[in-house]
Amino acid sequence: MNTRDVVNRYYELANRGEWNAWTDLFAEDQVMQEQLAGRVEGRETLRSMMAGFPDMYAEFHNVPQHVVVDGEQAAVVSRITARTHGGDTITAEVANYFRIVDGRIRYMANFHDTAPFAVLSGA
């Protein structure tokens, strides 16, 4: 897959809640700078982290609004809308940066306001 294909698949799988297949998009030695979770190293560490994702959200959507691809790099501005099992709603504008090597996400960073996600920690 080329960079655009990987990015499109990233959002497609996330929006279907297919977290195991989503994790397979990442390189074995991937590094993710995640706004809430911090630095996540390794695909299997990420897979373990994502196993708990369905317990946090009853509904989750991350819809790209603007996508820029340049070679192995991509930047995506998207909108997250979600609902917890307790009924709390989350809406956030997000920017993701991707570096994709050999058809896998090698590095990813996301940037967003953390306040909308405070309901996840009971704050």
| List of residues 6+ apart from 115 with CB closer than 8 A | none
| Number of domains into which the chain is organized | 1
Full domain range(s) for residue 84 = 3-121
CATH number of the domain at 21, please.
3.10.450.50
Residue 87 pLDDT level (bands cut at 50, 70, 90): very high
Full-model pTM:
0.91
Point out which residues pair with 60 in neighbouring strands.
82
pLDDT, tens only, 22-66: 999 999 999 999 887 789 999 999 999 999 888 889 999 999 999
CA distance 43 to 54: 18
| Residue 23 CA: distances (Å) to CA of 11, 46, 64 | 12, 7, 18
| Of 99, 100, 65, residue with least CA distance to 80 | 65
